[in-house]
Structure 1
Amino acid sequence: GEAFYVTIPEDQKEARTIVEEFKVLFENEKTTKIGQNLKYDMQILRNYGVMLKGAIFDTMLAHYLIDPETAHNMDVLAENYLNYTPISFSELVGKGKKEKNIRDIDLNLVKDYACEDADITFQLMEKLEPEIKEFNLGKLLHEVEEPLSYVLADMEYEGVKIDEQALSVMSKELEQESLRAQTEIFEIAGQEFNIGSPKQLGEILFDKLKLIEDPKKTKTGQYATGEDILSRLANEHEIASKILEFREYQKLKSTYVDALPKMVSKIDGRVHTDYRQTIAATGRLSSNNPNLQNIPIRTEKGREIRKAFIPRSEEYEILSADYSQIELRIMASFSGDESMTQAFKEGVDIHANTASKVFKVPLDQVESAMRRKAKEVNFGIIYGISAFGLSQNLNISRSEAGEIIEAYFTEFPKVKGYMDDVIEKARKQEYVETILGRRRYLRNINTKNFTMRGFAERNAINAPIQGSAADMIKVAMINVHNWMKQEKLKSKMIMQVHDELVFDAHKSEIDLLTTKVDEFMKTAIQLEVPMEIGLGRGNNWLEAH
């Protein structure tokens, strides 16, 4: 019911003088700060020489843990928890062309907006805190997610240096490759057309070339020409693989090669992504501008993009550290399967090991085709793959895929037991949990709708594994970051991508950093199965990966 608003003048020097008065409060480690999306506030305060310290209560992060799949913005939370509709920012400043600078708005209106913002956040904390306790989420919130926002704020502040010259060369190469692929597509099609138009593409592939007898159509009656359709046709029809190639070149060029230089900060010449903790329901981080999580890794041209991520100066190298097969190791640990666990403990190639068991051949007689099939099964099982899904991925008959899955479950019975138990438990409580108690609600697990129930069951198997992998790397990030700060290292942690951490490593510290990062990542959360870390260093991210 009571709040205060301190107006800050536009002049940077005057603004700093006022902010300076609050420094003692913000930097007091004994005071808890309550806020909504505090990582943003940390960044703003840092620009004024204030480093937020101490415990925090972040209402956005708290709600994310309570209900990961709904909206976490303050206005929605206020309506749901307080039955109150706050003044929205667009109401205050207007929208589009009519949007005004907040400094031009009547001070009384700004005061009301800002004070309400603070008061609502405080009231939300009072509502969310009991729920956090009730669902046993306190440890996850206060020891993982909130400390992680400090780590991410530092990583975002540091940013990563981009080799604009390399990107410029790459852009020209992709342009030429696109034109080459386009010419080849026109030759096979026997005419020119707009490859970017799904309508024209569908007509060429299915009316003119008749690649398949009964092509799938979209709701609008057009032929479906998505990546999944083309991938299935690619092995038999050259035009489909050429179209996929063409699309890849176009996407790489527009999404990364031409876009990254525009994101470089004029202040320090680096790219500063925005890490988001509350987007993915599994617990994984996502990032924006640029989206680092989507930088392709499967194709050679996609991997080339990583060449453009370089150290900040000649005194540094890029160090990459990533968890090797983390989800399979977690699956082995959760299921308690002796055979898988043993293979990981002995450092045996897990895919060859699976192939040996499924195809009943000695380990040294496993052929590459067998290993490839076993790899698809290993990773597919984590996502609750069906015989149909596996047959699509491997381009084999559904009956052969079914036999492979059956053989897999015969050889690894505890994996099947684990999957059945997880689904059974999920049916009873309508949620699953990760190793640190992160919840994923599965509201359709008991539905009569076969498709929706199947999706929920696959999530029940995968969410605890993928979520525990996310828990693990988050704990590792906090431990590495705290150690680096304590040792006052010149090296910086600069990126997190799925199961990988990337560092700007000072050459004088790289050996120490490599040893300690390996140690912290392996020991973040102790499991029955040991974690393996792939470590690499180089003059760019690709070299280090």
Structure 2
Amino acid sequence: MDDAFGKGCHLHLIDGSAFIFRAYHALPPLTRKSDGLPVGAVAGFCNMLWRYVQTDDGHTAPTHAAVIFDHSSKTFRNEIYPAYKAQRPEPPEDLRPQFPLTRDATRAFNIACIETQGYEADDIIAAMACAARNAGGSATIISSDKDLMQLIGDGVDMLDPIKNKLIGRDEVFEKFGVFPDRVVDVQALAGDPVDNVPGAPGIGIKTAALLIQEYGDLETLLARAEEIKQPKRRQTLIDHADQIRISKRLVTLDCDTPLDVTLESLAVKRPDADRLVAFLSEMEFRTLTNRVAEVLGAEAPAIQAAPASDAPTAPDQPAIDASAYETVTDMAALDAWIAAIVETGHVAIDTETTSLDEMQAGLVGISLAVAPGRACYIPLGHVAGGDDLFGQSARVAGQLDPAAVLAALRPVLQDPAILKIGQNMKYDWKMLARHGIEMTPLADTMLMSYALNAGTHNHGMDELAERYLGHKCIPIKDLIGSGKGQLNFAQVAIDKAAPYAAEDADVTLRLWQHFAPMLPVEKVSTTYHTLERPMIPVLAQMEMAGIRIDTDTLKRMSNAFAQKMAGLEDEIHGLAGQSFNIGSPKQLGEILFDKMGLAGGKQGKTGAFSTSADVLEDLAAEGHDLPARVLDWRQIAKLKSTYTDALPTYVHPDTGRVHTSYSITGAQTGRLSSTEPNLQNIPIRTDEGRRIRQAFIAPEGYRLVSLDYSQIELRILAHVADIPALKQAFLDGIDIHAMTASQMFGVPVEGMDPMIRRRAKAINFGVIYGISGFGLSRNLRIPRAEAQSFIDTYFERFPEIRAYMDKTVADAKQDGYVTTLFGRRINTPGINQSGPAAGGARRAAINAPIQGAAADIIRRAMIRMPQAIADLPARMLLQVHDELVFEVRDDATVPLIDTARRIMEAAAEPSLRLSVPLVVDAGHGANWAEAH
């Protein structure tokens, strides 16, 4: 083959085996609808090849290309060292039938497909790369496999297909501490547990690199081993010299691997449209078939979808059969289920209740599952349809006593050796905690899905079941109906309730089996295990604690708001010259754009003018009084309806407190959201908003304490964008907004005009969200040209921010996601779209790593907090983005503040050492307003 190559030939060598396993582990299981054949890895493989064929990546275009595969697991290396790769597991059952299909796919793409009996794909790649280089050509290896990095040098480079990044000598040195020609020496010393290459015991990559740097090469090192000063290291090298030499033979790629290919067979060719489309159609890849057909100018055949009822189940799991579930109605049967739980060491659990409010809902039943298809339902609180004379429904006969069931389940549900699996486990944790059972340890399939797929789809059980198990769950409406005649679950007949409830536990267990192995593959295990799962009991306890409110204060505020609204109504009507319904967008639009003739009116499909907040803010920025007053009126109306009128209705009849509910998966950046009621959106920038907090009070003898991160997102920005001026200001404790104003506008910090500082503050915070000149002009109510000038000056003064933004957007476009400092993956599915949505996707990508890191930091603090304050008469009640609110006995206020501040300010450690300090402001008082 050497003679066939010449100068100008550029060979691309695609690591096909790596492509297959990457596709298999990156995508959910997929089966062909017509016959159930597993094709998920084939689908991912085809998408990767199509992306390769279509991409102009800026690197030297190939004249020749091939996809290289492993032929079998046994190679010549097993003759050298029989234990080579002995620990590697067999390929998954559903992957095996896909191997030959990936070869068919390669040929369908008209790319050479090469494999050789007795040799690994890496050896074939090595032989072909060396042949190309020796003949005066060049080669690019398309892989990120570290074992191939030994080949890099003149005429041979590597391209990481995931990051679209070239790997050269410098990148190899960064990874191994040596250049490519000494990589095998380092690998021989360090060994490789994945391939069962023994190496030298106790010597890792860093130590191996230092030794090779010092002695030049492996043979010299072994020959001079007695010169090494450290006794243990010296003896290791002497005792294991032969083993190390064997390891080098195992890790050295064979450039003399026999090749039976011609140059002509490797020439780059355009895919044959009919052949490729036919293959993709046969695989039933509808979307890719249509895309390829459109690009290649072929006709895409119709692909018939199988009926929903024929959707396949997940691999290696029996079909979901609701009729096979057991209804437990005697203690002997329950004991058998408890024994099964102890035997398996895990159980999926789900509670059925009378409402979605877990603080007031009654427990109707419990479902359990220990294996796919092996699930049961324990009815506890089902009632007959009719009411008795006292308005109470009679309990259906044949159900076990709830207290006896809970007493029997308590030991296994609290056993730290048995894993409890749930979907939205926080709900079930609270339901059982109200009955004296605090489950541990926990797994939550909703949070697993969130860690894997935040931003790409929702995480409810029904959607996950259809998406990942190919199963449509029994709809709850089929049992309870809807509208005025809707039942609660207690009124559902047991024979209908049991299949529905047990199915929930069965599906949850199957989802856990599906998601758990994907977490390490997708490198989100740390996110799930340290930032998601531990939040379940922390938030549950906060929600159960609740917070007191003063309903009399709220009533007075509501009356005051009503009076203020009335005054604003009079003012608005006077400016309009007539009375009209301010709450009617149609009437308001007619006043602004028809009667007053203001510019900027936009009519929708119905012909009515838009009077959204954005429209009114633009008009107010132009100096028009009426829209400004309407904005004021709307703000007061919202405070009245959402808080002063509504909050008293949320007071729990037994606790006398308000119990909000936090969603861990509510925002893809990791920020928590609060509902029923929402306590995170109470405005604090207006006097009226701050007054709402006065109604949140501490009991007698206690105080509320607020601890709030100071400018945490700006601090994170200073760190990740490496902005010297901002970092120094934070280190010196300087007013960051005044410093920014001084840097931008050339004015001294001392005696600064508050308006100038306010503008700098708006820019500082706006930049984090990718604010535009248009947005800043609206916020500051200044002309757009002036606002854009401020932003331009800002980027001139802090060019590192622009560089950070550009890099973040570029990474998001390439990878499809961004990550926080703690490894949280935030998907950016809309980043490559065009049109009006592109700007929003770009701004979200810029902000996500910053806001996500801030969310991660406060989560870490919250997870550590319960143990830290366990000995204090205090408890954590609320989280509002960067703020935590506590209730503490008067005499423990100072110790609580000291402890909580220490935990919060050290929350990034030890995983990360920020280059700027985290600072926490603290306050306390009889109510939340005083504390903050």
Q: In the comparison of the two structures, how many residue pairs are matched?
A: 539
Give the Å deviation of 1:293: 1.3
Please state whether the residue corresponding to 2:885 is helix, strand or coil: strand
Corresponding position of 1:375: 761
* 2:476 is the alignment partner of 1:93: no
Q: What corresponds to 1:471 in structure 2?
A: 856
Report how far residue 118 of structure 1 moved.
Answer: 1.0
The amino acid of 1:252's aligned partner reads L
Aligned letter for 1:517? A
Report the counterpart of residue 836 of structure 2 in structure 1: 451
- Do structure 1's residue 519 and structure 2's residue 905 form an aligned pair? no
The one-letter code sitting in structure 2 at the alignment partner of 1:5 is Y
| Cα distance in structure 1, aligned partners of 2:776 and 2:581 | 33
Q: How does 1:9-88 map to 2 (within 5 A)?
A: 9=381, 14-53=401-440, 55-69=441-455, 70-88=457-475
Which is worse superposed, 143-152 or 154-163? Answer: 143-152
What is the rounded CA distance, in whole Å, between the counterparts of 1:330 and 1:453 in structure 2?
25
Q: SS of the counterpart of 1:509? A: helix
Deviation at 1:283, TM superposition (A): 1.0
* One-letter code aligned to 1:49: G
Of the three residues 628, 631, 656, the one matched with 1:244 is 631
3-state DSSP of counterpart to 2:705: strand
| Aligned positions of 1:310-459 closer than 5 A | 310-311=697-698, 313-364=699-750, 366-447=752-833, 449-459=834-844
SS at match of 1:294: coil
Q: Is the 2:430–2:540 Cα contact (8 Å) retained in structure 1?
A: yes
CA distance in structure 1 between the aligned counterparts of 2:407 and 2:762, rounded to whole angstroms: 57
* Partner residue of 1:175 out of 541, 544, 562: 562
> Residue 508 of structure 1 aligns with which residue?
891
Partner of 1:220: 606
Deviation sequence 1:34-69 (CA, Å, 0-9, x none): 11011001111012111112x211001111111112
Larger radius of gyration: 2
Distance 1:494 1:381, change over 3 A: same
- The superposition leaves residues 129-161 of structure 1 with CA deviations (integer Å, 9 ceiling, x where unpaired) of 122111211111112211111100000100000
User: What is the deviation of 1:376?
Assistant: 1.4
Tell me what 2:523 maps to: 136
Report what 1:5 is aligned to: 377
d(CA) in 2 for partners of 1:243, 1:453: 31
Deviation at 1:479, TM superposition (A): 0.8
Instruction: Summarize deviations over 1:481-520 as a string: whole Å, max 9, x none.
Output: 22223x2x32111111111100111112111100011111
What is the RMSD computed on CA atoms of the aligned residues? 1.7
Give the AA of the match of 2:792. Answer: E
Residue range with higher mean Cα deviation, 4-13 or 316-325: 4-13
Separation in structure 1 between the aligned mates of residue 379 and residue 895 of structure 2, nearest angstrom: 47
Q: How does 1:127-206 map to 2 (within 5 A)?
A: 127-206=514-593
Between the aligned partners of 1:381 and 1:465, the Cα distance in structure 2 is 11
SS at match of 2:879: strand
User: The residue matched to 2:588 in structure 1 has which SS?
Assistant: helix
**Post-superposition CA distance 1:223-260 (Å, at most 9, x none):** 22122222233352222222122212211111110100
Partner Cα distance (2:527, 2:442) in 1:
13
Query: Is the 2:869–2:899 contact (alpha carbons within 8 Å) kept by the matching residues of 1?
Result: no
**Separation of aligned partners in 1, 2:375 and 2:417:** 21
Instruction: Give the TM-score taking structure 1 as reference length.
Output: 0.95
Bigger mean CA offset, 256-265 vs 359-368: 359-368
> Structure 1 residue 274: deviation in Å?
0.8
- Give, in whole Å, the separation in 1 of the partners of 2:490 and 2:923: 49
User: Residues 290-339 of structure 1: CA distance to partner in whole angstroms, max 9, x if unpaired?
Assistant: 1011111121111111000001x211101001111111000001011111
Deviates more, 1:159-168 or 1:195-204: 195-204
Q: CA deviation at 1:20?
A: 1.0
Higher relative CO (Cα under 8 Å, sequence separation at least 6) belongs to 1
Q: From the superposition, tell whether residues 535 and 219 of structure 1 become closer, same or farther in structure 2 (CA, over 3 Å).
A: farther
Query: How far apart, in 1, do the equivalents of 2:665 and 2:672 lie?
Result: 8
Shift of 1:126: 0.9
SS of the aligned residue for 1:254 comes to helix
Match 2:681 to one of 283, 286, 294: 294
Give the CA deviation at 1:539. Answer: 0.7
CA contact (8 A) 2:671 2:881 kept: yes
CA drift of 1:13 comes to 11
Matched residue SS, 2:376: coil
CA distance in 2, matches of 1:204, 1:296: 29
Q: What's the CA shift for 1:388?
A: 2.6
**Stretch deviating more after TM superposition (333-342 or 525-534):** 525-534
Moved more, 131-140 or 119-128: 131-140
In structure 2, what residue type is equivalent to 1:120? V
- Post-superposition Cα deviations, 1:400-432, rounded to whole Å, max 9, x if no partner, equal 333322221222122222112111211211110
Which of 485, 492, 505 is 2:875 aligned to?
492
Distance across 1 between alignment mates of 2:929 and 2:614: 28
For structure 2, list consecutive stretches of 5 or more residues without a partner in the other structure: 1-372, 383-394
Post-superposition CA distance 1:201-234 (Å, at most 9, x none):
1112222223x23423334322221222222333
Separation in structure 1 between the aligned mates of residue 914 and residue 531 of structure 2, nearest angstrom: 18
Cα deviation digits, residues 60-117 of structure 1 (max 9, x gap) = 1111111112111111111110101121222222222343343443323222222211
Q: Which amino acid aligns with 2:754?
A: S
Q: Which residue matches 2:8?
A: none
For the Cα contact (< 8 Å) 2:380–2:400, is it kept in 1?
no
Q: Deviations over 1:136-194 (max 9, x none)?
A: 11111112211111100000100000101101111111111111111121222221111
CA distance in 2, matches of 1:148, 1:215: 47
8 Å Cα contact 2:817-2:826 kept in structure 1 = yes
For residue 524 of structure 1, what is the amino acid of its counterpart?
Answer: A
Residue identity matched to 2:435: Y
Match of 1:462 in 2: 847
Q: Amino acid of the residue matched to residue 37 of structure 1? A: N
Alpha-carbon distance between aligned partners in 1 of 2:584 and 2:482, rounded to the nearest angstrom: 33
Contact 2:831 2:841 in 1 (8 A): yes
* Residue from 674, 683, 692 that aligns with 1:305: 692
| Partner in structure 1 of residue 282 of structure 2 | none
Secondary structure at the residue paired with 1:6? Answer: strand
Q: How far off its partner does 1:386 sit? A: 2.0
Tell me how far apart the structure 2 counterparts of residues 452 and 206 of structure 1 sit (CA, whole Å).
27
Of the structure 1 ranges 92-101 and 148-157, higher mean CA displacement relative to structure 2 is found in 92-101
Which structure carries more helix by proportion?
Answer: 1
